[in-house]
Amino acid sequence: MTKKKNNQVYVYILDKEFCWVPALLVEQSKEKATVVVTDYKSEIEITGSNDPPPGRSTKTVTVKLKDYPNSVLPLQNVVANNHNVKPVADMIDLSFLHEAAILYNLKARHIQSLPYTRTGDIVIAVNPYKWLNKLYSEENRTHYSRTLVWEAAKKDCDPRIDLPPHVYESSALAYKGLAISGVDQSILVSGESGAGKTETVKICMNHLASVVQQEHTVLDHDTASLDMNVITKVLDSNPLLEAFGNAKTRRNDNSSRFGKFIQLQFEQGHVNPQHLTLKGSECQVYLLEKSRVVHHDDEIERTFHIFYQLLAAPDPVKTKFWKHLQGKDNTHFRYVGPTDTHSIEGVNDSDQFEKTIQSLSLIGIDGETLKTFLQAICVVLQLGNLTFAEDAKDSDHSVIASTNELQILGTLMGISVDKLSATLTTRLVKVRHEETVVPLSPESAKESTDALAKQLYDRIFLWLVRSINEATTAGGDLESYGHIGLLDIFGFESFPVNSFEQLCINFANEALQAKFTNDVFVSVYAEYKEEGIRLEEITYDDNTHVLDLIQNRTGLLAMLNEECIRPNGSDSGFVNKALHSNSKSPALIIPRIKTSDVEFGIRHYAGDVMYDATGFVTKNQDTLPTDLMECAQSSTNEIIAKEIAKTTTSACSQNAKSSKGSPRRKQSNLVAPTAWTKYKSSLDHLMKNLRKSQSRYIRCVKPNSLKKPAIMEHSLTLQQLRSSGVISAVTLARSAFPNRLEHTLILNRFMFLLPSKHRRKWKSLDLHDPEDQKDASEMLLTHALEPLLGENGVKAFVIGRSKAYFRGGALEYLESMRLKALETPATKIQAVFRGHLARTVVERRRKKEQQEMYNFYNGRAALIQSMVRMWLAQKERDKLYVKLIKAQAKALKKQKKQKKLDNAAITIQRHLRGSYIRRRYAAVFAKLKERLSLLDKIDRIQKKINKMKKNRQKELEQAQRGIDIDHGRDIWEASQLHIEDIELSEAAQAIELLQGEHKELQIKLKTQDAVLKPLQKNFDKLMEENKKLREDFQQAHERNERTKKANQDLITRHEDMEKQTAKLKEELANLSKMYAPAANGRLDFQMGLNDILEMIRDRCDDGELVEEVFNLGQQVHNAASEMQAEANAKYEQNVLNSPENVKRRLRSGGTPKTPNIASARSRRNILHASLGKIGSPGLGSSTGSIGKEKKVAGGHKL
């Protein structure tokens, strides 16, 4: 069956995976309905659009109407033109208000990053999982304050109409209600962990503080009474409570593990009572999760933030409070353990600890008080490190195995180790006048230690709350102040295993739900009264029966208190009594098949919850044994001692009150106020304050468990909407009339359902007048809904002043009638549209063919033009190629010619340089050969001298053995020795003179080396210029000619140098005949040096100068060597002709023998060594230096 889209009916159907999915109604009967639904694969694909996502198919499904409320499929609130879900800011404006409509409206706004939605006076806050700067800007806060507070009196309508939903409207209206009406206000924020309750409370508090500041800034009234310090303290108290009361859980990294009710205290202005001044605040806390101190899921969850902050602080900081924290982190304490998170909300634990210390200082906790306070926290940490084991002497007793940890704990608490050990491993039971010491097993001792740790942390937390209140509470009579309260408490909880804590939390939610239901009823009552609807039409269900089941005299918790008082009270005994006493309660669930003696259930407003009563009695007792309390009370830590003392005093006073009626029976140490009694008392006080105030509700919703933006999980969201009371509030608001439409919309949408004969009566009506619209709407609905008229004449609708309210199924019936009435005109419209569509297609096809023909011929013409242009371009290109080839040929020819000339120049230069080098080095090698032969001669002479020395030594030894002289011969020999000494003395003087001249020559040679270095630099510069000269062929040629002339001059000079060298050799040969050849050698050195200097001056512009200098130095060295050889030969000749040798020859056949030959030999060795110093060492050094310069400059090594 084909229908026009405007006539289609869009509905929601139930789905096991996605709860509710959109569908298109195809056909409907009394029991069944056929719909077309898209085959969705994930919730992300379900965006509120009725068009299937790409790649997704549709399927036809038949559903049973009995599975739906009032046996009617819930209708969608779609936009007329695109049939997608129409998101609205206030869900009261939804035409079809039901569970599915609420879900998809919230989802559509969540995808658009609109986290806030109204449902009347209720604000629903969906956690966006990202910070929206514009939404919380200073301008936006000011806008809400100005519109809802300062300018609201100027408007006749609801000032919220022009404002999008926001929690700022709750805080602004609360401020306005207190300032103008003088009625205390309260803002109730609820939701499950991770929904954003704590952040919402902070946003509201900041906005209220900003309203106060704006008031004094704009109006400038009561400025003197504005105390910014109070505002700072009030706002900064929140981070303190988070540090000590929040923890990381699986659902939320910064989850509040307690409930709190903060009352802001305002004082009315003296000049204008409607202007308020924030004077202080007071905080009440509920149900701190003490069990988290001793147990949490390792690495996934964490205990309270303060433990991680303290242990993450730098060692110099944390050791100020307790020295044993040096080098310790969370892994050193069992209660804390490892963690996978080291920062919360972008701030690491170390930085957060610094902020916590600053906040503590702001409320007056610093110095020794701060140290005592944090040491109390350390006591809790240290208790967790105690371990217990069985006593080796008695298995029924236990001992503390970790003695070192016990010693540290005792020092920290100021309690003796023996007292601590006895208190933790035994139990002192007092019954009447008897005291019995009962040993504890290791398991019981550990449980006792954990109980002490939980109790200590609870008392420390309460001490902190009292300290905050003392710093922030206004002075004077508190009743004279106006209050705005903000409640942040756990939402409804239902887990696989629910215990005592869940029962307390759900009871609090039941009490709040009762107030919520009453408040919603009042608002509905006011709306119906304004619309002129009779009040007897309104009926609703409340949760009184659930509250009675829990808190009545025979209720569950009364039975639990009674079981705690009994000596042998047990969890199973409590369950049996509770089920027997309340068996007729409609809220109690009694398991048909008992699998446990401690199981029972309650039908809460948010759903059925089954409870496991294991541990109910122990948890309800909530007290420490007397000996444990007395031990803790003896601690030197003032906070621990005083807080435990307060607990003891409170228990004693409570026991005294309960024992007034029976003076004979004395209370034992096991009797104390129960946890339920204390919790019920504080909850009654809270409800009393809330009843005196005008309440505003903010319901926080966690859209997904992934903590990602723009994703909404249907099942999780619906569960929270039900548990927060939003669904029940909608049900209550629409209990009598679930749907409503404005009169103008009814007339526009259903006008054609009225027969024309009745429509004639409308001619007398002005459809723009509200009263006439009401009459026309009533006439239309009376006729259209006549089949739904009840047996008692009860209509299916009620007409109000601006709207019509429909009973269940009435609006759906109207929609089905509208669908049937539009079928015939729809067929005609479809036929006309199809004809128009066909004509449009034919005309479009004709134009397309004409366009194709035009494009064909136009393309052919363009092809011919392009070919002609291509031919002309190719012709022009060929001309350019010819010119280019000719130019390249000329350039190549010129380049070849130039290259030929360059190669010729290079060849000429190569031959000239080679010829010059060969001639030059041939002469050098000849001279070298000659000098080598001279060196060989010197070596041979030296060998002969050494041989002569050995022979002389042998002769002297023989002469010494044959000495036999008389006294006269001794006198003659002495005179000869005297003469020899004189000669040796003269020779020594000559040697000293020669050594001095030798040193002077060495100095001059060093000076010559300094002169050679600049010459080396000049040589390098000449080499660079030589390279540049190669670039120009003509200049290279001229340089070549000059080089030839210079080579000729060099040859001539070389010949002159050879002649000079021969002359020097002759002079050296003549001088070698003298006794002192070294002195003559000095003159030869000076002459040689003069020639070297002349040569340097003459050839300073020649690159070969260094080589010539080397050659000259080598010649001088050879001449000096020859001079040394001649001097040695002269010395040997003189020695042979000496008187000693004559005596030796006389003694052995005419040769005389020498007396005291050892002394003469030593003097002779000294003379020989002195003469040896005149030789080549000095010259060799200088020559070596010149040779080094030669190697660097010329690149050769001879």
Percent above pLDDT 90 for the chain? 30
Residue 1126 lies in a domain: yes
Provide mean pLDDT across the span 1101-1123. Answer: 59
CA-based max dimension of the chain:
191
Q: Look-up: residue for tokens 């060795």?
A: 1165
CA distance 768 to 766: 5
CB atoms within 10 A of CB 114: 19
User: Using CA of residue 81, residue 84, residue 86, residue 87, what is the dihedral sign?
Assistant: negative
Six-digit token string for 183? 């009625």
Six-digit token string for 1150? 């005419």
Integer Rg of the chain from CA: 59
1079 known member of a binding site = no
pLDDT at 175: 92
Is 257 within 8 Å of 289 (Cβ atoms)?
yes
Residue 404 has pLDDT above 70, yes or no: yes
Residue 1098 lies in a domain: yes
1069 known member of a binding site = no
Give me the helix-helix angle, 442-472 and 367-383, nearest 10°: 160
CA distance 810 to 784: 10
Residue 1072 has pLDDT above 90, yes or no: no
Asked if residue 551 and residue 419 are part of one domain, the reply reads: no
E strand or H helix that includes residue 245: helix 228-245
Asked if residue 974 and residue 1117 are part of one domain, the reply reads: yes
Is 1123 within 8 Å of 1081 (Cβ atoms)?
yes
Look at residues 121, 172, 182 and name the one whose alpha carbon lies nearest to residue 151. Answer: 172
Who wins on pLDDT, 484 or 818?
484
Q: What is the pLDDT of residues 615-625, one digit of tens each?
A: 999 889 877 88
Residue 1119 has pLDDT above 70, yes or no: no
**Predicted model pTM:** 0.64
Band of pLDDT at residue 987, cut at 50, 70 and 90: low
Who wins on pLDDT, 133 or 4?
133
E strand or H helix that includes residue 267: strand 259-268
Q: What is the pLDDT of residues 935-962, one digit of tens each?
A: 777 777 778 777 877 887 787 777 666 6
Residue 513 lies in a domain: yes
192 known member of a binding site = yes
pLDDT at 1160: 41
Residue 237 lies in a domain: no
Residue 1017 lies in a domain: yes
Asked if residue 443 and residue 552 are part of one domain, the reply reads: no
618 known member of a binding site = no
Q: What is the pLDDT of residues 412-466, one digit of tens each?
A: 999 999 999 999 999 888 777 778 888 999 999 999 999 999 999 999 999 999 9
Asked if residue 517 and residue 392 are part of one domain, the reply reads: no
Residue 1046 has pLDDT above 70, yes or no: no
Asked if residue 569 and residue 433 are part of one domain, the reply reads: no
Band of pLDDT at residue 29, cut at 50, 70 and 90: confident
Asked if residue 1105 and residue 989 are part of one domain, the reply reads: yes
Residue 1 has pLDDT above 50, yes or no: no
Six-digit token string for 733? 């608001």
Residue at 1170: amino acid letter: S
pLDDT at 1174: 36
Asked if residue 961 and residue 1101 are part of one domain, the reply reads: yes
Look at residues 1121, 1118, 1117 and name the one whose alpha carbon lies nearest to residue 1129. Answer: 1121
Phi-psi region of 346 (alpha: psi -120 to 50; beta: other; left: phi over 0): left
Query: What are all long-range contacts of 524-532, with beta carbons under 8 Å and residues at least 24 apart?
Result: 524/732, 524/733, 528/800, 530/801, 531/800, 531/801, 531/802, 531/803, 531/805, 532/800, 532/801
Residue 542 has pLDDT above 60, yes or no: yes
Q: Is 642 exposed, middle or buried (0-12, 13-18, 19+ CB in 10 A)?
A: middle
Among 35, 51, 86, the domain-final residue is 86
As a whole number, the mean pLDDT across the chain is 79
793 known member of a binding site = no
194 known member of a binding site = yes
Residue 550 lies in a domain: yes
Among 99-103, 216-220, 780-784, the minimum mean pLDDT is found in: 216-220
Provide mean pLDDT across the span 757-777. Answer: 79
Q: Is 992 helix (H, G, I), strand (E, B) or coil?
A: helix
Residue 10 lies in a domain: yes
Q: How many residues does the chain have?
A: 1198
- CATH at residue 553: 1.20.58.530
Query: Exposure pattern of 822-842 as b/e (b: 16+ CB <10 Å)?
Result: beeebeeeeeeeeeeeeeeee
Provide mean pLDDT across the span 207-235. Answer: 66
Among 62, 86, 110, the domain-final residue is 86
Who wins on pLDDT, 902 or 1186?
902
Domain that holds residue 1140: 954-1194
Q: What is the pLDDT of residues 1091-1109, one digit of tens each?
A: 665 655 565 555 555 555 5
E strand or H helix that includes residue 854: helix 823-961
CA distance 377 to 689: 33
Q: Is 398 helix (H, G, I), strand (E, B) or coil?
A: strand
Q: Which residues is 698 bridged to in the sheet?
A: 123, 189
Asked if residue 540 and residue 434 are part of one domain, the reply reads: no
pLDDT at 750: 84
Residue 186 lies in a domain: no
1195 known member of a binding site = no
Six-digit token string for 318? 């944390």
- CATH at residue 394: 1.20.120.720
Is 6 within 8 Å of 833 (Cβ atoms)?
no
Residue 251 has pLDDT above 60, yes or no: yes
Asked if residue 970 and residue 1083 are part of one domain, the reply reads: yes
Residue 1196 has pLDDT above 50, yes or no: no
Six-digit token string for 351? 């930085």
Look at residues 380, 382, 376, 340 and name the one whose alpha carbon lies nearest to residue 464. Answer: 376
pLDDT at 219: 46
Half-sphere exposure of 1097 (CA within 13 A, CB side): 5
Band of pLDDT at residue 576, cut at 50, 70 and 90: very high
- Please give the C-alpha separations between residue 987 and each of 267, 1075, 1135, in angstroms, as whole numbers: 127, 9, 13
Is 901 within 8 Å of 1033 (Cβ atoms)?
yes
Number of domains making up the chain = 4
Is 1007 within 8 Å of 1096 (Cβ atoms)?
no
Residue at 642: amino acid letter: K
Half-sphere exposure of 1172 (CA within 13 A, CB side): 7
Residue 361 has pLDDT above 90, yes or no: yes
Max mean pLDDT among 7-11, 70-74, 1132-1136 falls in: 70-74
Asked if residue 550 and residue 426 are part of one domain, the reply reads: no
Who wins on pLDDT, 929 or 577?
577
Phi-psi region of 64 (alpha: psi -120 to 50; beta: other; left: phi over 0): beta
Look at residues 1128, 1157, 48, 165 and name the one whose alpha carbon lies nearest to residue 696. Answer: 165
Is 365 within 8 Å of 467 (Cβ atoms)?
yes
Q: Is 259 helix (H, G, I), strand (E, B) or coil?
A: strand
197 known member of a binding site = yes
Q: Is 127 exposed, middle or buried (0-12, 13-18, 19+ CB in 10 A)?
A: buried
CA distance 112 to 126: 12
Asked if residue 543 and residue 614 are part of one domain, the reply reads: yes
Q: What is the pLDDT of residues 865-918, one digit of tens each?
A: 888 899 999 889 888 988 888 888 888 888 888 888 888 888 888 888 888 888
Residue 157 has pLDDT above 90, yes or no: no
pLDDT at 821: 77
pLDDT at 1187: 38
pLDDT at 805: 84
Provide mean pLDDT across the span 718-744. Answer: 78
Half-sphere exposure of 831 (CA within 13 A, CB side): 5
Asked if residue 1167 and residue 1019 are part of one domain, the reply reads: yes
